[in-house]
């Protein structure tokens, strides 16, 4: 903070005035990376600021620990000593839905085939990825990354289905 004086003279006339200048430290928030998660997301504690549902510190204030169960953007807002000294960062939260599936399986000729089938259209089988594995004594004949596999051996087979970042 500093006082500045202004002095003016015009012939025999003079005038003087003063005013104060206060420079406040800027509020800085670190960038917040987007979050993609397959279960409700608990808002973490913040070192600075509060969570809000709208920009500019408006809307509902959300406490750390609040569970976010649907995709949305929340805002971290820090009020400074003046509105020009405030800071805000958007936090984009993408909550995916884990794929729900069942199986169609049976013999087709001499081959035994296991196929992943989506339940209630919980994912698009054409855009999902698949990773199959077999217990000892079993074999996956051909690719282990398709919606269906040809198997041999009476053992447990495992598949991980990933869709929209969720497995």
| pTM for this model (two decimals) | 0.64
Give CA–CA dist 83/87, Å, rounded.
9
Nearest to 41 by CA among 62, 67, 64, 76: 67
Give CA–CA dist 92/103, Å, rounded.
35
DSSP state, 57?
G
Kindly report, residue by residue over 79-126, the tens digit of the pLDDT: 877 767 889 999 999 998 899 999 999 998 888 999 999 999 999 999
Residue 1, pLDDT score: 79
Averaged pLDDT, 5-26: 87
DSSP state, 86?
-
Residue 25, pLDDT score: 74
Give CA–CA dist 128/68, Å, rounded.
25
Residue 33, pLDDT score: 92
Is a pLDDT exceeding 80 seen at residue 19? yes
Residue 127, pLDDT score: 94
Kindly report, residue by residue over 43-80, the tens digit of the pLDDT: 999 988 999 999 999 999 999 999 999 999 999 999 87
Could you list the beta-strand ranges (E) of 63-108. Answer: 67-68, 72-78, 87-95, 101-108
Which tokens in the block code for residue 4?
């500045």
Residue 77, pLDDT score: 95
First-to-last alpha carbon distance for the chain, in angstroms, is: 57
Task: Note whether 131 and 86 are within 8 A (CB).
Answer: no
Give CA–CA dist 167/165, Å, rounded.
7
**Per-residue pLDDT band at 24 (split at 50, 70, 90):** confident
Q: Specify the pairing of strand 35-37 against strand 87-95.
A: parallel
Averaged pLDDT, 135-146: 91
Is a pLDDT exceeding 70 seen at residue 129? yes
Averaged pLDDT, 2-7: 91
Residue 80, pLDDT score: 76
């Amino acid at each position: 903070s500093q006082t500045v004086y202004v002095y003016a003279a015009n012939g025999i006339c003079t005038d003087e005035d003063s005013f104060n200048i206060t420079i406040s430290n800027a509020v800085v928030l670190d960038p917040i990376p987007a979050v993609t998660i397959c279960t409700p997301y608990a808002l973490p504690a913040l070192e600075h600021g509060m969570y809000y549902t709208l920009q500019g510190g408006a809307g509902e204030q959300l406490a750390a620990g609040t569970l976010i169960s649907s995709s949305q953007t929340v805002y971290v807002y820090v009020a400074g000593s003046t509105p020009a000294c405030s800071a805000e960062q958007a936090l984009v939260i993408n909550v995916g839905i884990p794929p729900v599936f069942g199986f169609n399986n049976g013999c087709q000729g001499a081959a035994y085939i296991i196929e992943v089938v989506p339940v209630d259209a919980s994912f698009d089988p054409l855009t999902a990825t698949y990773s199959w594995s077999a217990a000892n004594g079993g074999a996956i004949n051909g690719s282990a990354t398709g919606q269906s596999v040809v198997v041999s051996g009476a053992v447990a087979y495992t598949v991980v289905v990933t869709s929209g970042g969720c497995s």
